[in-house]
């Protein structure tokens, strides 16, 4: 590890902290329906869309209606994107002449982008035509991100409102998120990326002659627009197969910084939105502090592991850290930082190959995703995932003192705890259950590039990434097979929607409750004691659920490496 590396990490952390309050304040005004600088531009369009949809900005929805709207909207997105891929052979804007996407892969990709996962079992430049990239994948990057943010805002309203039956309007939250938050930032960001050298055109691919006299096809296209929303919306699906390691997606140090900041910006600011909407910003800062501590610990472990390198290589007289699978222009520090950022948030974009990380370095992204992407997390998903742990922590605190647990004046009773635990237990059921089948069935094992614990980690990482709606991968796994395309698609659906439904049920219960005033017996939830309790619950729950799987994968691989054995 170097001083320069730590300075780069601290600069990133400083930028995120500085963005939390102003961006959180702006988003709060948007979700409260207050006037903003963009209202004269988008308000007439917004009202027109509501009339077409048969709703209005004043119409509120019960939690069941809100959830049903999200589910049907997502189902429509899966169907449309599936058929768009299947019809590629007859659609325009196809300079590379790509054909229809096979059924299993089309299903996997449609589910992937609608669930905000963006798992890619294909090479974008060789599989998707421009129309699919723009009208299918990029559009879903916007609306899937907006849907997740809407669920988080609905849950915030459940804590902030008292004795009502509604949580807002899904269509209003979706529209406002796209128009007032995602679209303006992406327009400006896309222009900056083009200035930095990211392509944005509809030109055909170019063929160049290399110095050796060989012919090389250079792919291009509408790249910059997809790059901005894939990071801001924590989607992660790249235009190119190499993702953010590709020089057209990520050509400079500035674009690398823009990508990293974009991934964290909205998720971090939503903690401030939470604090503002419940009337106490210290509540939001407490949640942000818990997220921040987990993030810093993860970065430190990953950076240390990659900077330490492989002792077996050192024994050959070759000093230095582990640069395998990394871009020399980013180095170890920024590669480790990007890996932790993209898995702390449910983004999945990569500027280095996680499969080439050291065993413990690769374990950090795994742990980030196993915890449910709560370390900042995906846009919306990170906050509502962390609030599930908050409910469990409050319940544990109530057991300790023998008093009915309360959070923000709302009593946390049996229904809320059951829904929170149901949502939390869905994740390991999918992650570990599918992995168990994959590592014993011949069709699953056949796709693993490595034997032993690293091969196990490849399969484990795939299902953890899919269920956590992350989308990154240990690239040694050949996942473009019927088995993995179908099972990973199911895992994405489970991780997204079977988690959202109990969360919304919990929100529907909380919003009807009155808020009791604070008393001498109220457990403060905005100080260091609560942050420590919350972190303890997260670590204990995560350890009980996932430590055996980690012991079979990265931990035993590290111990074997120390003894001189590699896989």
User: In this structure, are residues 354 and 341 in contact, taking their beta carbons and an 8 Å threshold?
Assistant: no
pLDDT band of residue 310 (cuts 50, 70, 90) is: confident
pLDDT at residue 320, as a whole number: 82
Q: How far is CA 170 from the centre of its chain?
A: 21
Question: What residues contact 44, with CB distance under 8 A and at least 6 apart?
Answer: none
pLDDT at residue 563, as a whole number: 86
More confident residue, 319 or 170: 170
At residue 11's C-alpha, the angle toward residues 231 and 181, to 5°, is 35
Question: Residue 519: is its pLDDT beyond 90?
Answer: no
pLDDT at residue 436, as a whole number: 95
Mean pLDDT (whole number) for 492-505: 95
At residue 373's C-alpha, the angle toward residues 284 and 25, to 5°, is 30
Distances (CA, A) of 164 to 59, 106, 406: 14, 42, 18
pLDDT at residue 564, as a whole number: 83
pLDDT at residue 152, as a whole number: 95
Question: What residues contact 167, with CB distance under 8 A and at least 6 apart?
Answer: 60, 61, 62, 63, 66, 154, 155, 157, 158, 161, 504, 507, 508, 511
pLDDT band of residue 265 (cuts 50, 70, 90) is: very high
Highest-pLDDT range among 124-133, 284-293, 392-401: 284-293
User: In this structure, are residues 113 and 137 in contact, taking their beta carbons and an 8 Å threshold?
Assistant: yes
pLDDT at residue 318, as a whole number: 81
Quote the CA–CA distance of 32 and 13 in Å, as a whole number: 28
pLDDT at residue 518, as a whole number: 76
Bridge partners, residue 406, by sequence: 411
pLDDT at residue 315, as a whole number: 81
Distances (CA, A) of 320 to 50, 312, 323, 336: 59, 12, 8, 15
Show the DSSP H helices in 88-219 as ranges. 103-114, 124-127, 130-131, 139-160, 170-176, 183-196
At residue 373's C-alpha, the angle toward residues 380 and 343, to 5°, is 115
Lowest mean per-residue pLDDT among 93-102, 298-307, 356-365 = 93-102
Bridge partners, residue 62, by sequence: 166
User: In this structure, are residues 293 and 47 in contact, taking their beta carbons and an 8 Å threshold?
Assistant: no
pLDDT at residue 126, as a whole number: 87
SS3 182: helix
The residue with tokens 């089948």 is 437
pLDDT at residue 117, as a whole number: 93
Question: Residue 520: is its pLDDT beyond 80?
Answer: no
Q: 3-state DSSP: the chain helix, strand, coil percent, rounded to 5? A: 65, 5, 30
User: In this structure, are residues 88 and 98 in contact, taking their beta carbons and an 8 Å threshold?
Assistant: yes
Q: How many H helices and E strands in the chain?
A: 22, 4
**Closest to 171 measured CA to CA, from 50, 18, 296:** 50
More confident residue, 517 or 444: 444
Residue 184's CB is within 10 A of a number of other CB atoms, namely 16
Mean pLDDT (whole number) for 76-95: 93
Mean pLDDT (whole number) for 484-495: 96
Quickly list DSSP for 319-344.
-S---TTB-TTTHHHHHHHHHHHHHH
**Residue 120 gets which letter from DSSP?**
-
Quote the CA–CA distance of 67 and 46 in Å, as a whole number: 21
Mean pLDDT (whole number) for 414-438: 94
Residue 344: HSE in the Cβ half-sphere, 13 Å Cα cutoff? 27
Quote the CA–CA distance of 344 and 293 in Å, as a whole number: 12
Element (H, E) at 143: helix 139-160
Question: Residue 401: is its pLDDT beyond 80?
Answer: no
Q: How far is CA 465 from the centre of its chain?
A: 9
Distances (CA, A) of 346 to 350, 372, 458, 493, 510: 12, 9, 18, 14, 26
Question: Residue 296: is its pLDDT beyond 90?
Answer: yes
pLDDT digits (tens, 9 = 90+) for 216-227: 889 999 999 999
Question: Residue 397: is its pLDDT beyond 90?
Answer: no
Question: Residue 404: is its pLDDT beyond 80?
Answer: no
Mean pLDDT (whole number) for 453-480: 92
Question: Residue 142: is its pLDDT beyond 90?
Answer: yes
Mean pLDDT (whole number) for 324-350: 93
Question: Residue 359: is its pLDDT beyond 80?
Answer: yes
Question: Domain extents for the chain?
Answer: 26-204+217-277
Quote the CA–CA distance of 181 and 17 in Å, as a whole number: 19
Question: What residues contact 250, with CB distance under 8 A and at least 6 apart?
Answer: 227, 244, 256, 259, 351
pLDDT at residue 212, as a whole number: 87
More confident residue, 362 or 312: 362
At residue 339's C-alpha, the angle toward residues 334 and 345, to 5°, is 120
Q: Can you give the length of the chain in residues?
A: 567
**Residue 402 gets which letter from DSSP?**
T
Residue 37: HSE in the Cβ half-sphere, 13 Å Cα cutoff? 4
What share of the chain has pLDDT > 70, as a percent? Answer: 99
Q: What is the pTM of this model?
A: 0.93
Quote the CA–CA distance of 424 and 99 in Å, as a whole number: 40
What are the backbone angles phi and psi of residue 401, rounded to the nearest 5°?
-105, 0
pLDDT digits (tens, 9 = 90+) for 23-73: 999 999 999 999 999 999 999 999 999 998 888 899 999 999 999 999 999
Question: What residues contact 492, with CB distance under 8 A and at least 6 apart?
Answer: 111, 112, 115, 117, 119, 466, 467, 469
Per-chain mean pLDDT for the chain = 92
Quickly list DSSP for 262-329.
HHHHHHHHHHHHHHHHTT-HHHHHHHHHHHHHHHHHHHHHHHHHHHH--HHHHTTT--S---TTB-TT
Quote the CA–CA distance of 518 and 537 in Å, as a whole number: 24
Question: What residues contact 79, with CB distance under 8 A and at least 6 apart?
Answer: 110
Residue 443's CB is within 10 A of a number of other CB atoms, namely 13
Quote the CA–CA distance of 187 and 200 in Å, as a whole number: 12
What are the backbone angles phi and psi of residue 406, rounded to the nearest 5°?
-135, 150
Question: Residue 333: is its pLDDT beyond 80?
Answer: yes
Mean pLDDT (whole number) for 150-161: 95
Question: Residue 524: is its pLDDT beyond 90?
Answer: no
């Amino acid at each position: 590890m170097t001083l320069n590396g730590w300075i780069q990490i601290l600069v990133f952390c400083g930028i995120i902290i500085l963005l939390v309050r102003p961006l959180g304040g702006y988003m709060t005004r948007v979700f409260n329906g207050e006037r903003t600088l963009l209202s004269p531009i988008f308000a007439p369009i917004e009202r027109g869309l509501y009339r077409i949809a048969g709703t209005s900005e004043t119409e509120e929805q019960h939690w069941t209606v809100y959830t049903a709207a999200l589910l049907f909207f997502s189902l429509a997105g899966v169907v449309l994107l599936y058929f768009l891929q299947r019809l590629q052979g007859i659609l325009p804007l196809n300079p590379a002449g790509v054909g229809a996407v096979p059924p299993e892969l089309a299903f996997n990709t449609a589910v992937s982008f609608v669930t905000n996962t963006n798992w890619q079992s294909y090479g974008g430049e060789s599989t998707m035509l421009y129309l699919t990239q723009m009208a299918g994948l990029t559009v879903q990057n916007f609306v899937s991100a907006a849907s997740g943010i809407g669920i988080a805002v609905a849950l915030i309203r459940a804590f902030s409102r008292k004795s009502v039956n509604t949580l807002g309007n899904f269509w209003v939250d979706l529209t406002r998120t796209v128009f007032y938050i995602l679209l303006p930032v992406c327009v400006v960001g896309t222009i900056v990326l083009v200035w930095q050298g990211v392509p944005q055109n509809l030109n055909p691919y170019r063929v160049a002659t290399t110095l050796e006299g060989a012919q090389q096809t250079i792919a291009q296209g509408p790249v910059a627009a997809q790059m901005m929303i894939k990071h801001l919306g924590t989607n992660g699906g790249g235009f190119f197969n190499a993702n953010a390691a590709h020089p057209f997606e990520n050509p400079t140090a500035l674009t690398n910084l823009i990508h990293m900041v974009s991934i964290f910006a909205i998720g971090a600011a939503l903690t401030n939105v939470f604090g503002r909407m419940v009337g106490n910003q210290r509540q939001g800062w407490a949640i942000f502090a818990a997220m921040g501590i987990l993030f810093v610990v993860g970065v430190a472990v990953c950076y240390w592991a990659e900077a330490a390198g492989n002792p077996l290589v050192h024994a050959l007289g070759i000093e230095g850290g582990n640069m395998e699978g990394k871009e020399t222009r980013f180095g170890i520090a920024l590669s480790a930082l990007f890996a932790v950022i993209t898995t702390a948030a449910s983004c999945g974009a990569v500027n280095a190959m996680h499969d080439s990380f050291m065993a413990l370095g690769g374990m950090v992204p795994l742990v980030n995703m196993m915890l449910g992407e709560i370390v900042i997390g995906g846009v919306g998903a990170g906050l509502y995932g962390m609030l599930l742990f908050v409910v469990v922590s409050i319940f544990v605190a109530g057991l300790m003192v023998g008093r009915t647990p309360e959070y923000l004046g709302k009593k946390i009773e049996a229904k809320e705890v059951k829904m929170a635990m149901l949502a939390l237990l869905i994740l390991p059921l999918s992650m570990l259950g599918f992995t168990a089948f994959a590592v014993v069935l011949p069709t699953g094992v056949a796709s693993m590039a490595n034997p032993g614990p690293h091969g196990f980690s490849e399969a484990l990482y795939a299902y953890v990434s899919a269920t956590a709606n992350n989308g990154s991968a240990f690239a040694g796994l050949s996942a473009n097979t019927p088995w993995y395309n179908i099972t990973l698609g199911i895992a994405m659906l489970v991780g997204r929607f079977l988690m959202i439904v109990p969360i919304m049920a919990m929100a529907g219960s909380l919003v009807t409750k009155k808020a009791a005033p604070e008393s001498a017996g109220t457990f403060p939830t905005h100080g260091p004691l609560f942050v420590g309790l919350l972190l303890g619950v997260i670590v204990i729950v995560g350890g009980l659920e996932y430590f055996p799987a980690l012991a079979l994968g990265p931990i035993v691989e590290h111990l074997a490496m120390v003894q001189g054995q590699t896989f």
